[in-house]
Amino acid sequence: MEIIVVHDFYLVQKKDDTECLGLSSIQKCIVAIRMLPNGVAIDYTHKYCRLNGSTALECLKRFVKFFLTCFESNYLRQPTLTNVKK
């Protein structure tokens, strides 16, 4: 979780003007993780993570950008012939 927070300040839990804590980093990442493989609708995210649609979509965009920036070279590459044969 620390690497995500260092990479994108949007995913950090912040306080609002009334000093109340906002959404946690974990909530923001869980929304993205649930939306990607499961195809969860944006409106449904409000029920389990208390995020509105625009915030959920922004979390998804930033999570994907983070993942591509940090892990694309290691995990998102074309398979080699050895990988295909196995």
- Residues 6+ positions from 76 with CB-CB distance below 8 Å: 68
The count of structural domains within the chain is: 1
Secondary structure (3-state) at 39: coil
Task: Give the range of the structural domain holding residue 29, as residue numbers without chain letter.
Answer: 2-85
- Residue carrying the six token digits 């591509």: 68
The answer to whether 5 touches 24, Cβ cutoff 8 Å, is no
Distance from C-alpha of 39 to C-alpha of 48, rounded to nearest angstrom:
15
pLDDT higher than 70, residue 74 = yes
User: pLDDT digits over 20-57, tens only?
Assistant: 888 788 888 888 888 887 776 776 766 666 777 788 88
Nearest 5°: the CA angle 30, 32, 35 is 105
Query: How far, rounded to the nearest angstrom, does the alpha carbon of residue 75 sit from its chain's CA centroid?
Result: 17
